[in-house]
Each structure stands twice: as C-alpha cells, then as structure tokens.
Structure 1
Amino acid sequence: MFSSKKRLDRAYKEAKIVEFDNNSKIILFSDCHRGDNSFADDFANNRNIYFHALKHYFAEGFNYCEIGDGDELWENLSFESILNAHKNIYMLMKLFHKDNRLHMIWGNHDMVYRNPEYVKKHLSTYFDAKTGEDVELFKDIKYHEGIVLKHCKTDQEVFLTHGHQADWWNYTFWKWSRFMVRLLWKPLNVMGVADPTSPAKNYKELIKVERRTKKWITENNNLITIVGHTHRPRFPEPGDIPFFNDGSCVHPRSITGIEIENGEISLIKWQISTSDDGALKIVRVLLEGPIALENYRAD
C-alpha cells in the first residue's frame, strides 16, 4: 500500500492545475485504447460513437480531458499506425488542442508519453502522404500524470489521474506487461482470450485497485478523485468516499464518460439507439447525476 500511496501522492503533488468555475464545461473520457483498426483494436467498434460525441462536445465549448490509455501503445509499436487508422479522430482532437481545450494524462498503456522528448518526436507533426511533407499535429502538447481541476472561486479541487498508480504490476512492470501483450495476449485477444493481468478483465485485481485508491482518498481529506484504468464506471453519492471512475470507450456498443458543467458532475453514456422507423442514431444517456460538486466537500 505504501508504494501506491507514494505514487498517488506524487501524481497529486506534481499535477497540472486547471482552473474552472460554474461556467466551465469539461468532458472526461479515458481508456479509449485507440489501435490500428486490426481485429485486436477494441476501439474500432466504438469509433463512430466516440467521434460523434467528441464533435458534440467541441461544438458546445467543452474542454476535453483524456485521463489515460488514450492510445494503445502496448499492442501497437508506433503511434503512426494508430493515427492512420483513426485520422478523423486526431484531426478533431487537434481542434481542441489549438483552442487550448485539450488536457492529456498518460496511463499504463501509453506510459511512453511521460517522456516529453518522445511526445515531441511522435506527436508534434505527422507525415502527410498527399503533400509529402510533415504537417503540424499536437504542437507543444504536454502529457501529465495528474491534473487538478481547481474551482477559481471556492478553491474546491478535483483530482484526475489514470489510476494505475494503485496497480503495482501495471505501473512498476509496465514494460514487461507491454512485452507480454505484444507477444502473447494480442494474438490471443483476437481469439477472445482476455489478459488476466488487466484489472478490467480480472475482477479480484479490480477490487484491490479500487480499495487502495479509496484508502488514499480518505487519507487526503476525501479529495474528489476521478480515475479510469479498471473500465468500471463509479459514481458515489454525496457522503460516500468521492471515488469516481469514468469507465471506458471500449464497452460493447457504448462509451462512458464524466461531464462537469454548471458546477455539477454527471456520469453519461453514448450509444447507438434504434428509432421507431428502424433508423440508427447515436444518443447521449444520463446514467447518474447531475450532482453539485459542492455536495462532495469534505468540510
């Protein structure tokens, strides 16, 4: 537990501060696991849902916080193959970035992004085959281990991090896990065999990760904390330990996320729905909330 505490302490202490108020609009997604559009790309099934949702949030003036495992860099050797598979997604994210509305956190599956030089080399530009030249993508983008949303009037804080700090194997031995995924679990995943080291696929590990995170939250004056990693949405009632999880973008036929708007927090889902005339459409479903963030204040 000490190592989990130490890692979470560091992520919080070194977190980027992003100020917000009751007029701010923020959408949180994590665990997109964007891949290369192969059979092992879990994101591919939901990419149209995700793209539609992100277009909505861009048009409505939301800030986008991606809290880890956005890119699947365990199964895939390079970002370039992922970019080529989902270029429309990255062009939309580029618009958020140019508007200073994109805030990125690295997780265990994209832990290489904790190296600023790697980020600069691979994400600043991309090669455009049409022009034969390098084109700007995410110029000067910074990835963080944690982000603190700080209310500029009340000073209330909301701590965002991926959550693998409470998962010693996937934090400390992430390179070994990446090796095993590439060598063994990626081909087995195509055949439907789940990776037992992933807390999203291993319920016992999931419970342990959640328990360690909740313990850290209680030791830090019940600081509102929002994570991903386990893929299991969590939305506590006021008075409970304020441990939130935005779920993932690789649920079967749906994606989940957390919205902060009007000083309130909500858990939402985007999914494909069938209308009475048989037409398919992508709809937003409110799962929990909205509840005022003030209701989660420890004091």
Structure 2
Amino acid sequence: MRKLLQKLLTGPIIRLANKYSSRPDEQRVHEALTTLFNKIRKEPGKRGQLIEFDPSSKLIIFSDQHKGNRNYSDDFALSEKNYLAALRYYNEQDYLFCSLGDSEELWKNTLIGVVKNNKETFEHEKLFLERNAFIKIFGNHDLYWDNDPLAAFTLEKVYGQKIRIYEGVILQIPLKDQLLSVFMTHGHQGDLQSDGNWFSKWFVSNIWGPLQAYLRINPNTPAYDSQLKSAHNAIMYEWTAKQSGLALITGHTHQPVFNSLTHLERTYIRLEAAKEKGDQAQIQKIEAELAAGKISGDTSPRLNYSKNTYFNTGCCCFNDGDITGIELEGGKIKLIKWKFNPESGPIRIVLEEAELEHLLEA
C-alpha cells in the first residue's frame, strides 16, 4: 500500500509543498533585511556580529541541515556522511564555519530527539567552537535558539561551552582600497509562511511530518540542476541590487544561487551565447542537457540580472544525499557541492567560483 501511495502522491505532494511552503512579501522582506543590516552595523554583538575579514581568510557556510531524529521524515539522514566529511575537511584546513540557520529541525521533532540522534554532528561542529571558529545563526525551523529562555542552557550542554546565537553576521572585507560588506542571514524574514508563523509550524509538526514519515518522501530535489530562481530568491536579489558595496548570502529556499543566477539560468545563458555564435554543436549539446533534466518554472527566464551580488547556500538535505554550500577562500567565493562516491567516499566539487573583487564592480 505504501509503495502505491508513494507512486501516486509523491509528485503532487512535492508540488504542493513547493507552492505553499513559501509566501514572501517583497516589502516585508526588504524592510526586514534593511532593519537587520542596520542594527548589526549600529550595535554589533546584539542581533549579529560585525567581523573584519581578511581576503586571505577561509570561511565555509552551510545552511538548512534540518537535523532530525532519524525516522523517515528526517531529510538530513542521507546527507549526514557528506556533512561529516565536509566538516572534517574544513576543520583540518582551519576554516571559519558559519551555520546559517535551520540546522536543527524543531518543527517536526522534539529537541531531545534531535540532540540524541545527532551527537556525532554536534561533536564535529564543536571542534570549530573550540577554535573560536564557529558562528551559529538561527532560522525559522530552529527559532527556538532565539526565543526560548532555556536555549542558552541547552546549547551549553550540547556544545560543552557557552555559545551565542545570532540572526545575522556582516563580514567587512578590504578589497582594492574599498570595503566589501558580505551580509549573511538565514533569509526567512518577511516570508509570511515562515517568519514566526504558528500555523506553518503546527502544520509541519502535526500533518506534514507524519505524512512524510509514512510515505518516506524527501521534497528536497537537487535544485541546482533543474530550477529557475524561486520567487523568494528573486526578491532577495532585488534588495541586493539596490545596495552598493554589499553582497548578500542566505539559505532558507534550499536552492543554490551563485552571482544571482541558478545553474539552469546559467545554462540558458550559455545557450543564447551559442546561438549568437552559430555554434550548432554547442547548441545541440546544451539543448540535450535541458531535455534530459526536469525543468520547473518558466522556460523563458529573466536573465538580465545586472548585479552579481546575491548568493544562496542551497541546503544539506537533498534527497540524493548531496549537500551544497558557499566558500570564501583565497580572495574567491565558490559554490561547492559534496557528493558521496561509492568507491572513494564523500568528495568536494567546485560548481562555480569568482573573485571577490568582482563583486565590487557590480
């Protein structure tokens, strides 16, 4: 019976989840981002950190792990091997680690269950904290860390020492005699379905979670291959485009974005360039790539994004076990993926990269 229901319901349920899981309001999103950014700059240490960041320094940003309790509604379970391998790599390489929200799935699960079933991941994160190299940002699914009076006590028990939780962080990076501000926050602010919405939390906990566990559905498809920019990512971009000397990095949407474009949008750009050159071999190759993928959204995307300063980490809970994140290293910004190879184990793959200096030219 379960297999029959999986076959019949997986597609419709994922489409409904994508349609109703996010309801961003442009004005609310823009106002929330502006307010938080200004608060951090004026009063660093309250809602967020203001960090002087040397271009030669190293930072890894992961978000949306959604650590669960290892039942069939645990989206993180398949990605755990890649996540642990990634944390070992970045700790050995002395990276600063920013966990950009929704690290723990506390809408579907109890905190006790999440802590009990994720001891190894917390131990790996703890290694960064011991080097004073761990930044923890809250999102909508782990809002508990910000609004519960016992959160500080719980965090100290989990990590073995006190740790502050923030809503955002601003990196100030000196480049070309100019200052680039990199603003990082989870990105749920201004989303009517996510920003402290009690009904969404109740629905996920009491309806979606049990249904997902029974049908064993993970709605997090590898979005870096097959989707155009979501409405929420587009709204984030519009806010960033109004700023000067600033780049924005968020999570929340589970859709990787690099230099304001998704992987699919870049593919369309390559197709247009091939058509302009009359390169028939390249045209056929790209069209075959598009035909082989499952394209969602408009097939004529807006490609004239004039600024390249919006980025999204993606998530650490794709249904194939892959995880994506953003690296800052050696004066560059990179979109990376960790993928499990049956022969060699987890491997790191650079999907996109650009010089940080180019962000000042936008």
TM-superposition CA deviations, 1:72-117 (whole Å, max 9, x none): 0111122x32122111111111111121100011111011212373
User: Aligned runs of 1:63-82 on 2, under 5 Å?
Assistant: 63-78=96-111, 80-82=112-114
Look up the match of 1:121: 153
Unaligned runs of 5+ in 1: 127-136
Structure 2 CA distance for partners of 1:172 and 1:212, relative to 1, 3 Å: farther
User: Aligned runs of 1:163-202 on 2, under 5 Å?
Assistant: 163-173=187-197, 175-190=198-213, 191-192=215-216
Q: Secondary structure at 1:217's aligned position in 2?
A: helix
Give the AA of the match of 1:77.
Answer: T
Structure with the largest fraction of strand: 1
Contact 1:112/1:118 (8 A) holds in 2: no
Look up the match of 1:131: none
Q: Secondary structure at 2:103's aligned position in 1?
A: coil
How many Å separate the matches in 1 of 2:192 and 2:150?
A: 24
How many Å separate the matches in 1 of 2:240 and 2:64?
A: 22
Contact 1:222/1:241 (8 A) holds in 2: no
Shift of 1:144: 1.1
Contact 1:11/1:161 (8 A) holds in 2: no
Shift of 1:2: 2.4
TM-superposition CA deviations, 1:217-262 (whole Å, max 9, x none): 1222262101111111111279534110111001122111111001
Q: Could you tell which deviates more after superposition, 4-13 or 226-235?
A: 4-13
How many Å separate the matches in 1 of 2:52 and 2:109?
A: 35
Structure 2 CA distance for partners of 1:44 and 1:194, relative to 1, 3 Å: closer
Contact 2:140/2:196 (8 A) holds in 1: no
Shift of 1:293: 0.7
Q: Secondary structure at 1:282's aligned position in 2?
A: strand
TM-score normalised to structure 2 length: 0.71
Shift of 1:187: 1.0
Look up the match of 2:326: 258
Shift of 1:210: 1.6
Give the AA of the match of 1:87.
Answer: K
Contact 1:26/1:260 (8 A) holds in 2: yes
How many Å separate the matches in 2 of 1:194 and 1:249?
A: 12
How many Å separate the matches in 1 of 2:237 and 2:160?
A: 34
Unaligned runs of 5+ in 2: 1-25, 41-47, 261-304
Q: Is 2:123 aligned against 1:91?
A: yes
Of 154, 157, 162, which residue of structure 1 is paired with 2:186? 162
Contact 1:270/1:285 (8 A) holds in 2: yes
Contact 1:221/1:298 (8 A) holds in 2: no
Structure with the largest fraction of helix: 2
Look up the match of 1:297: 360
Aligned-residue sequence identity (percent) comes to: 32
Q: Could you tell which deviates more after superposition, 116-125 or 56-65?
A: 116-125
How many Å separate the matches in 2 of 1:147 and 1:269?
A: 23
Give the AA of the match of 2:60.
Answer: I
Give the AA of the match of 1:295.
Answer: H
How many Å separate the matches in 2 of 1:111 and 1:184?
A: 20
